[in-house]
Structure 1
Amino acid sequence: MAYNSSQDGQVQLSLLSTWLGHVDPANTYWYLSASPELMAAAGQRLESYLGAPR
């Protein structure tokens, strides 16, 4: 969701981590999973950041 709405993923992870009661956001990564849609959005953002032609 964060990628599609242009929200900062790290901020959203910190919010989720706090909500789950984790002291370290790294412990929250275990609850996340990659979906084809998320990976495609991440790839598009990376290409845009690197300036790769489409």
Structure 2
Amino acid sequence: GIDSYKEIRRMDFETLLKGLKKAIKVRKLQKKKNPILMNCVLTGKNLDDI
């Protein structure tokens, strides 16, 4: 989840969001139809987020 992201992944969620937005922009410019996939890690620290 957003609240525990930094602790689990050691990166700010906002940094991730900027990267995703850039990737989406590039995919549109390349006219690619493949989706951008994300994985989800479930731990005792983020169960309340979901």
TM-score normalised by length of structure 1: 0.35
TM-score normalised by length of structure 2: 0.36
